[in-house]
Amino acid sequence: MEDFIKLVANVGFPIAVAGYLLIRVETKIDKLTESIYNLSIVIKASENK
């Protein structure tokens, strides 16, 4: 949290918010990628039956 406060002081609030949002979105994209991969495995398994 201290690093975040220093970041805001040095580069400004808009850049700090953008960086925070990019980090949050990255984790969501990773989860979506994993879900899509799992879904493709399930679809292939159901086609083989």
Q: How far apart are CA 34 and CA 15, in angstroms?
A: 29
Quote the pLDDT of residue 36.
96
pLDDT at residue 7 greater than cutoff 90 = no
Question: Among residues of the chain, what percentage have pLDDT more than 90?
Answer: 39
Task: Please answer whether residues 16 and 5 qualify as being in contact, where contact means their C-beta atoms are separated by less than 8 angstroms.
Answer: no
Q: What digits encode the pLDDT tens for the residues 12-26?
A: 888 878 888 988 899
**Residues 16 and 8 sit within 8 Å (Cβ to Cβ):** yes
Per-residue pLDDT, 10: 78
Q: What is the pLDDT of residues 26-40, one digit of tens each?
A: 989 999 999 999 999
Residues in Cβ contact with 16 at an 8 Å cutoff, skipping those fewer than 6 apart = 4, 7, 8
